[in-house]
Structures are given as structure tokens and as C-alpha cells.
A and B are shown apart, each in its own frame.
Chain A
Amino acid sequence: MRTENIGKKVALSGILISLAMIFSYIESLLPLSISIPGVKLGVANIVIVIAMYTVGNKIAFTVNVMRVIAVGLLFSGAFGILYSMSGCVLSFVIMAILKRSDKFSIVGVSMAGGVLHNIGQLLMAAFLVSSTAVFAYLPVLLLSGIATGLAIGFLSREVVRRGKFDFK
């Protein structure tokens, strides 16, 4: 019984990681991700948000971290991993806290995730170049974080509501 559950979890994590990787790849093809460092739609976050609300924080976090490492190795190198890991971990921690407080809906949690994802990347960028000049991008990053976070939130809500999830 127990081993069966572990197998299920491993398989599910694998599917979610590959799904998140595909989203990351699609995102890298979109011209929207250019010009300002850190401004990404964060499409892959949709997998993380849905995973959080269907299979729990543990698997969602594993998927998040593994996705960043795999995508980083494939497309941007070790440097890119460091950069996006800070955004992913920060946004995940805040999302988990907000979700636990039970005061926020999936849309609010996702919005916070979008904003914190960008703030995390910006903080890492400021740390890496040892300069506060990167904060000139803060307003754009905040607004884009709100917009993408909301969009992902509404999408995730529909997926969670309509989908049949019996993974637990």
C-alpha cells in the first residue's frame, strides 16, 4: 500500500515537472520575455499553483525546485538557476504562508506568488551585480507580477474547480 503511494507520487511529480518544463520552454519562445531582466510571464507557475491546491505543498515544492534546475541546465546554465531559484523559492514560501492563513483565495495566493517571484529575482540580481541600479525595474516588475499572478490565479481556479484530482 505504502510503496504504491510512493510510486504514484514519483510518477505524478515527474509528469508535473515535465509539464512545468514545457511551460518554461514555451515562455522562453515568447518575445514578451525580452528587454528587461526578470520580466517573464511566469507561465510555469501555473503548474506550481495547481499542484499546491491539488497534491499539496511537498510535491509542489519539489516540482518547483526540480523544474528550475532542469530548465536552467537546459537553457540558461548554472547562472540562470541561481537567478530564478531565488524568485521561485521566495514566491513559494509566501504562497504557502498565505494559503495556510486560509484568508486568501487561490487568485490572491497566485497574485502574491507572481509579485514575489519578480521581487526575488530582482533581489538576487541586485546581489549578483552588487548594485541597486536594478531597482529601476521595480515598478515594471511589480505591475507585471500582479498581472501574470492574477491571470495564473484565475486559470488555476478554473482548472482546480473543473478537473478531477484524486491523487491523494
Chain B
Amino acid sequence: MKITKADIGLFIIFFIMSLISFVYVYNMGKSTGEQTVIVSHDGEVVGKYPISIDRQINVDKNGHTNKINIKDGNVQMTFSTCQNQDCIRQGKIHDGSKSIICLPNKIVVEVKSEESQFDSVAK
């Protein structure tokens, strides 16, 4: 029942994994250029909006409704017909390091910079 060497090794592996993923996600968020809000349903993009222009977006898919609000460079899910309301609690996002996900309604809201999109096309 004593802590073994393998335990400590596993802990170090997990810890390094989290550090690497932290750095990776942080770099994803550190983007330059015009930021675009991308709303997708079940993997398909249903709309792209510049983050700099305030607006209200309504997404109606499969009888579910989600309302997304872009205001002062922040994006927020303001209304959802889902049961758990996790997407509302995820709050405001403003860069690629975070995304809003409504699992029951399969809605994903991401922020991406135009530059990184060109990069992925070029590859």
C-alpha cells in the first residue's frame, strides 16, 4: 500500500502532459489579426461573424435554440434550450484558448483568428 516508484513516475508523466497542453492551449489563444467567431452544429459550420461587431445570433437546429451574444469583443451563450445549461455557465470567451460548448444541442462556439485559418488552408 506504500507509494511506489511507478506511482511517482505516472504522476510526473501526467503532470508534464498537463503542462504541455497548457502551453499549447495558451499559444492557440495568443493570436493576432482579426478574430472570427465560428458557430458550428454537429461539426458543420453554421455561421462566421467578426468579433468586433456586436450582434445577437440565434441558432435553431433540430428543435433546439441557442442564442449567442457578441458584445465588446466578448462572446457569450445567453440562452439555450438544453437541460444542463453548462454552456451558459461557461461565460464569456474572447480568444482561441477557450470555446463554448453545448453538448446536448451539439453547438460549438469558437474564436479563431483569420491568420491561423489561412495557415491551416496553406498546409
Contacts and interface: CB of A to CB of B under 8 A. Distances in A.
Given A35-B86, A35-B89, A104-B4, A111 B104 contact: no
A136 B94 CA distance: 13
A35 B11 CA distance: 26
Contact of A111 (B7, B89, B98, B108): B7
B40 A131 contact: yes
Interface in B55-114: 83-84, 86, 89-91, 96-99, 101, 103-104, 106-108, 110
Given A105-B2, A136-B98, A139-B22, A35 B90 contact: yes
B40 A108 contact: no
Given A129-B42, A129-B103, A133-B108, A108 B90 contact: no
A157 B2 CA distance: 9
Q: Which 6 residue pairs across A and B have the least CB separation, nearest first?
A: A130-B43, A108-B7, A142-B18, A103-B6, A133-B99, A139-B22
B25 interface: yes
Contact of A130 (B10, B42, B110): B42
Contact of A160 (B1, B6, B7, B96): B1
A106 B1 contact: yes
A112 B101 contact: no
A104 B106 CA distance: 38
Interface in A101-115: 101, 103-108, 111-112, 115
A76 B83 contact: yes
A130 B110 CA distance: 13
B14 A125 contact: no
A133 B110 contact: yes
A138 interface: yes
18 contacts: A37-B101, A37-B103, A83-B103, A105-B2, A108-B4, A111-B14, A112-B14, A115-B14, A129-B101, A129-B103, A129-B106, A133-B108, A136-B99, A139-B18, A139-B22, A142-B18, A146-B14, A150-B11
Given A107-B7, A108-B10, A34 B89 contact: yes
Contacts of B28: 136
